[in-house]
Amino acid sequence: MTTTTTPKRVGVLGTGKAGRTMGEAFVELGCEVALGTREIWNENAVAWNAKVGRRGSVGTFAEAAAFGEVVVLAVRGDATEAVLRGVGHGPFGEKVIIDLTNPIDRGQQTPTLFVGTTDSLGERVQKLLPDARVIKAFNTVDASHFFRPQIPGGPPDMFLAGNDFGARDVVAAICTEFGWGTAYLGGIECARYVEPMALAWAAYAVMSGATKHAFKLLGKAPKVEIPLE
């Protein structure tokens, strides 16, 4: 896919809150959505399919990846690499991949990342899907605000990182339709900076006791095209 229009078919990998919410949002925009899961009869998948109706379907991770013109990666961070290895890179091809994952170390009492500073989960996703065009996005806010967020002071900004300008423009256009501004940071290595923002979001949620917040970049410059190596 090379245009910036909303895709007709979207594959979503993951039946957690993030995956279901993204699937519902794309259905509302008129897309057909395939939700991918390990077990197609799990409660989340069945309930989601009943809610979205005929525009939605449920299948395996591989089936959802093959179905979508754009694929949303919304599995748990600590399961991401295993899921992608299990599917293989074939079904993803050269598609735009919207990577929502965060490398949260769930074994720690205080939230932390299991990769960062010199690497990122976004970069690992790109390495596992060498032909795909991965864009890190939608990982810095609670899923309840993914679609048309109603946040005081908004609209908020979604921070994007990825190597392909065409893929960036596709995801930026989707963000716009979802009700977000965008701030592109650079290549997929910039996921090293975007992923820790999820911890900042979570820390403020704990301290404030609320989840109705998101990031906004002030003083944004005009878009500058810097060739990526």
Domain coverage including residue 19: 9-208
Task: Evaluate whether residue 218 is within a structural domain.
Answer: no
Q: Is 114 helix (H, G, I), strand (E, B) or coil?
A: coil
**Contact call for residues 36 and 30 (beta carbons, < 8 A):** no
Task: Evaluate whether residue 202 is within a structural domain.
Answer: yes
- Going by pLDDT thresholds of 50, 70 and 90, the confidence category of residue 221 is confident
Whether 229 has a pLDDT exceeding 70, the answer reads: no
Task: Evaluate whether residue 220 is within a structural domain.
Answer: no
* 26-55 average pLDDT score: 96
Whether 1 has a pLDDT exceeding 80, the answer reads: no
Task: Evaluate whether residue 227 is within a structural domain.
Answer: no
**CATH number assigned to the domain comprising residue 48:** 3.40.50.720
How many residues in total does the chain contain? 229
Respond yes or no on whether the N-terminal peptide bond of residue 155 is cis (omega within 30° of 0). yes
Vertex 58: Cα angle to 20 and 30 (nearest 5): 65
Task: Evaluate whether residue 228 is within a structural domain.
Answer: no
| Mean pLDDT score across all residues of the chain | 94
What's the domain count of the chain? 1
**What pLDDT, on a 0 to 100 scale, did the predictor assign at position 111?**
80
Task: Evaluate whether residue 217 is within a structural domain.
Answer: no
Whether 3 has a pLDDT exceeding 60, the answer reads: no
Whether 136 has a pLDDT exceeding 80, the answer reads: yes
Task: Evaluate whether residue 194 is within a structural domain.
Answer: yes
Residues 64-119 have pLDDT tens digits of 999 999 999 999 999 999 999 999 999 999 999 999 999 999 877 778 899 988 99
Task: Evaluate whether residue 222 is within a structural domain.
Answer: no
